[in-house]
Structure 1
Amino acid sequence: MRWRSSVAVVAGALIALLPAGCGSEAAPEQPRGEWVAAGASAAPSSAAPSAAPSSPAPAAVVVGNPKGRASVPAEAKAVDTSRPTRVIGDGTPASCTSKAVVAAVAAGGVITFDCGPDPLTITMAATAKVRNANGPKIVLDGGGKITLSGGGKRRILYMNTCDKAQGWTTSHCQDQDHPQLTVQNLTFADGNSTGETTEGGGGGAIFVRGGRLKVVNSRFIRNRCDSTGPDLGGAAIRVLSQSKGLPVYIVNSTFGGGKGLGGRCSNGGALSSIGVSWVVLNSVLTHNSAIGSGANPARAGKPGGGSGGAIYTDGNLFTVRIAGSIVTDNHAEEGGGAVFFVSNDRTGTMTIESSTLQRNPSDGFETQGFLGIFFLGARNPTVKSSTLRR
């Protein structure tokens, strides 16, 4: 969907210009130390993660916001995976291969890993794709030890109820309640969907259209998608057409988390969607960048993009709720250094609760009085017990 981003519309929407200038990121840093989710305890694989791919180091890498106190509804919590449908691996690292992941995701069900006691990175030789007839619930649980890597070459995980190649299961693929995909206790690293054109592209680590998506206790680092384009986005996750307009839940998860670890895409350095609602709880989104130029529709002589340093949302009736979360040090070449929200028919709403948004420069434009945010919707964003500052 497109919106008018001309200078006239920007001025009419009470936009405050920010000076350009957000320094370039340093070379990527490797994650270090033990991986611990907010509120985690030593527990079975259905619980929060306990370790992650790392080089030995004394400092822990915390997933999500440990100080976040937003209530998590039952439907947004991690799935019990103590009795998996299938297990990837036989207890050895060598048995945990890209081929095994691809096969397990295609077969569906509750999937766990048995790759030995140490953290392991599995570099994907092909994108794992959900078969729409398999499920209806598909759960991928890394137990806090598994990183799925795109190797900087490919998207990691794909689900699309309207993709005939993955099978049509209803006559209304754009609005069906299955498959229901949950990813939990995993790291998604170095995914790259550059050049992917299906459904408009985007989604460097995960692309989803249809069904439902939930992300719990997971980490997304150094993911990428196309660097230009007016409406594509989501270096980590791109979502379209969720069932009955129900939200995507992002819970106790981290996108970026450190200098050089963030996602980079034309729009939405972490998350992106069209017509989709989001609930982001007790999570961290930092050091992500919207690197396109020219906004949407693209200005004359520009390829378009550059909005939503962390989150890019477009559509008509949808909502965004950010609670108990930290959104800092993100950057947009155009509008919304933290969040870009455009409801074309002005019915959409956004709420920010008990969260901190700071140091999210918008080089082109943002909504007056809401630092780091460009918003067009039913009314101004509702901000409760939160900090918005430079």
Structure 2
Amino acid sequence: MSRRWVPCALLAVVLTSCGSSVQPFAASARPAPTTTTTTTTTSVVATTTSKLKPRPESMANPAGTAVVPPEAEPEDTSSPTKVVGTGTSASCTSDAVAEAVAGGGVITFDCGPEHVTVVLDETVRIRNDKARDIVIDGGGLVTLSGAGERRLFYLNTCDRSLGAGTRCQDQTHPRLTLQNLTLADGNATGETEEGGGAVYARGGSLKVVNSRFLRNRCDQDGPDLGGAAIRAFGQKEPVYVVGSTFQNGECSNGGALSSIGTSWVVLNSVLKNNKAIGRGANPARDGEPGGGSGGALYADGNEFTVKIAGTLIEDNHANEGGGAIFFVSNDRSGTMVVEGSTLRRNPSDGFETPGLKGIFFLGATEVTITGSTIE
């Protein structure tokens, strides 16, 4: 059965004065969820890399104990389709990365024993008509950078210039996995496909494992765009984010992650110091450009789910609603679960759900919260 995603711009949100809570959709208002509080101590782990036997450094929340399902585990890269580089940092170039990814399959790197940063001259585009599964594994030693000028990865099953897919969005392939990588300084400002400073994914499938996203950007204002690090749109399967860190991202909405019509499973990860910098909310108030919701995560659409487990979300900020998480299911069929996680110091300057610091939620039921601290 086909689905029709209705953007949050169609919602009527009634705001009160800045800094106070609001009660949108008063006719269907629900009682505030009850939080279950546990004491959790977390910190971002410091890591080192052996020069003799390079191993991926951990990007995970060290306090995270969520069980990772088989489909969210790292992919096997023991028999790569293509190796970028010939053992030196100079051999790992933007062209080499683009060429390897264009062919699809399993891609690894051989850039020498030290960390290397590859500045991408162009956005890497995922083909729809090549290998059904694309795995890009940096081995913990590779940073891909947009130099603050361009998006890093672009996947779009509706873009016929990338080869025809079976359908426009809502299909499972190409299936892109990013693991053991750092994706830094991506910038999607001004792109036609709005949002996704590091990764834009419409259709297909996306999984991120043991990776780090730093200082990514997208447009500063707009009511329904977002995702400084990742923008996911119309995906049939959930986006899995496992053992990964998102820091210092800025966008109109979704300082780290943003989606329409897509589910998320975020496990044992860290979302820290990200900002939703737009102003005017959604729909935009008169005289303002709109945006400013979901300091870390902005999720919109109809029937979708968000699961946060074993994850630390702290020190994020929203100029409008949901300093940590903004969740709106337009038809009230969507659900959200928070398990074994800590959400703290995520201010919402405009509005949030009473009793849930840093969260604005409109869905099928109350947020299900177990073994978590929200403060």
Q: What's the TM-score, normalizing by structure 1?
A: 0.86
- 1:100-115 correspondence to structure 2 within 5 Å: 100-115=96-111
Cα distance in structure 2, aligned partners of 1:384 and 1:184: 29
Cα distance in structure 1, aligned partners of 2:263 and 2:170: 14
Change (3 A) 1:359 1:43: farther
What is the aligned partner in structure 1 of residue 143 from structure 2? 147
Whether the 8 Å contact between 2:158 and 2:165 is mirrored in structure 1 is no
Cα distance in structure 1, aligned partners of 2:48 and 2:126: 27
The answer for unaligned runs of 5 or more in structure 1 is 17-30, 51-61, 257-261
Partner letter of residue 110 of structure 1?
V
Change (3 A) 1:32 1:122: farther
Cα distance in structure 1, aligned partners of 2:254 and 2:80: 34
What is the aligned partner in structure 2 of residue 234 from structure 1? 227
Change (3 A) 1:247 1:44: farther
Aligned partner (choices 303, 316, 322) of residue 336 of structure 1? 322
Q: Aligned residue pairs: how many?
A: 348
Whether the 8 Å contact between 1:15 and 1:367 is mirrored in structure 2 is no
What is the aligned partner in structure 2 of residue 19 from structure 1? none
Cα distance in structure 2, aligned partners of 1:378 and 1:176: 25
What is the aligned partner in structure 2 of residue 59 from structure 1? none
Partner letter of residue 164 of structure 1?
R
What is the aligned partner in structure 1 of residue 169 from structure 2? 174
Overall identity of the aligned pairs, in %: 62
Alignment of 1:192 onto 2:178? no
Cα distance in structure 1, aligned partners of 2:360 and 2:303: 17
Change (3 A) 1:109 1:167: same
Give secondary structure in 2 for the equivalent of 1:367. Answer: coil
Q: What whole-Å deviation, never above 9, does each CA across 1:220-245 have from its counterpart, x for those lacking one?
A: 000000000000000000001113xx
Change (3 A) 1:179 1:11: closer
Q: CA deviation at 1:9?
A: 5.7
Give RMSD over aligned pairs.
2.1
Partner letter of residue 353 of structure 1?
E
- 1:57-136 correspondence to structure 2 within 5 Å: 62-136=58-132
What is the aligned partner in structure 2 of residue 254 from structure 1? 245
Q: What whole-Å deviation, never above 9, does each CA across 1:147-177 have from its counterpart, x for those lacking one?
A: 000000000011101001111121x222222
Q: CA deviation at 1:43?
A: 12
- 1:342-381 correspondence to structure 2 within 5 Å: 342-381=328-367
Alignment of 1:49 onto 2:49? no
Whether the 8 Å contact between 1:15 and 1:365 is mirrored in structure 2 is no
Change (3 A) 1:229 1:357: same
Whether the 8 Å contact between 2:184 and 2:198 is mirrored in structure 1 is yes
What is the aligned partner in structure 2 of residue 183 from structure 1? 178
What is the aligned partner in structure 1 of residue 309 from structure 2? 323
The answer for unaligned runs of 5 or more in structure 2 is 1-6, 16-21, 33-43
